[in-house]
Every structure is written in structure tokens, then in C-alpha cells.
Amino acid sequence: MKMPGAVFRQAVQDATGITWEEWVTTLKQAVDSSWSHEHMKEHICEQFQVSDEWGEWLTVMYGQLLGRIPVGVTKDAGVQIGVRKTIKVEQEKVWDYLTSPQGLPLWIGDVSEFRLQKGYEFKSKEGICGKLTVVLPFRKLRMKWKLPEWEKPSRLQLYLLPTDSGKTTIAIHQEMLDDVYVRELMRRFWADKLEQIKNYLEGRNE
């Protein structure tokens, strides 16, 4: 099982003052590999006085080293996340907003240009970069997508799924993420962005 990515390694050191490599050495001595997830987490929290959240992350990440497979990890797509939200706006209006100078900053950042064509490469002032690989107008965008602090890009897909009642479901699927810590960060990121999109478009549609 590969080691966690740079984002997690930096976060765990910032939160606990201990590097991930040092944690692995310590946990090999402090926990029994046969323990359940709950037992291991409780022991880590009590013995090392870490928060409940970091007790959970240390347990999950160390569990992976022991061969345990956490939620969101698949053989083909690696670590992945799916987030969706249905809004009371037509499919075309959602697409137009997401690809407009007003909507692009939500998920790409400040870009001087954005062309809806396969092979187009983008990079925002915030450092988000990528390359469009599939463009199906009003229906789907597929791309490589990378935050500046990431070591490698993810694979991001945005789908717009119309409903019979005139609403649109925005479905976001992201694959090839570094680890399950980044997966959780992206789950929160996309949930927040979809809520912002919903509030803006439904507010304008009233």
C-alpha cells in the first residue's frame, strides 16, 4: 500500500508535531494489527492525546498500511469521490453558469480565458491547473484537475443530468486522488461549491 500524499503528511505534522514516518514507527510498537478500527482509534486517542479527528485519520491511514481498504478506494480508479446536488434550474442555464466568467472561479479560479474544447489546458491565478479531455456541451466535462499543493493531477468529471420536472442534478466524480484524507477534503470542497451554485442559480431563478 503506497504512502499517503504530501497534503496529508504536512497536515498530520502540523496537527500533531510528529511526521507521518515517525507515527508509523510509533504505531507499529503501540497497536496490535489484529485490533478493530474502533479499538485502535480509542487506544491512539488515549495514549497519544490526539483529537478524535486525528485519532480517526491516524487509524485509517495506518490501517491502510496493514492492508485494510477504506471507503472510497477502488482498484481501477484509485481513491475517488462522488458528490451531487439537484437544483431547480434548467440544464442549459446550469451549464452556461458553470462555464461563464462568474461560475468558473468556483471550481477553477481566476482564469483570463477558458475554451470549451478537448485538449485545452488551463491554469488559474490560484494555481489550479488541468486539461479538458471530454467536452459534451450541456452534459459533461471531463478533465485532469490539480490543486497547486498536489503532487499529481486527479481525474475530474462534471455531469449535468436533467430531471422530468425541469430540475438539474449536478454530479461530480473525482478519481485518482492521493489518499482518503484528500478525498475527504474534496468531498467538503465540492459539497460547499454545489451549495454555492444552488443558492446563486435558484436565487436568480425566483
pLDDT at 205 over 70: no
* Alpha-carbon span 154 to 159, nearest angstrom: 16
Quick one: pLDDT band at residue 180, thresholds 50, 70, 90?
Answer: very high
For the chain, percent of residues with pLDDT exceeding 70: 98
Write the pLDDT tens digit of every residue in 42-54: 999 999 999 999 9
Mean confidence (pLDDT) of the chain:
93
* pTM confidence score: 0.88
**Confidence at residue 200, expressed as pLDDT on a 0 to 100 scale:** 93
Please give the grid coordinates belonging to residue 17: 508535531
Contact 153, 130 (CB under 8 A): yes
**CB neighbours of residue 150 within 10 Å:** 18
Please give the grid coordinates belonging to residue 110: 481566476
pLDDT at 3 over 80: no
Write the pLDDT tens digit of every residue in 122-145: 999 999 999 999 999 999 999 999
pLDDT at 2 over 70: no
DSSP 165-204: TS-EEEEEEEEEES-HHHHHHHHHHHHHHHHHHHHHHHHH
DSSP annotation of 164 reads T
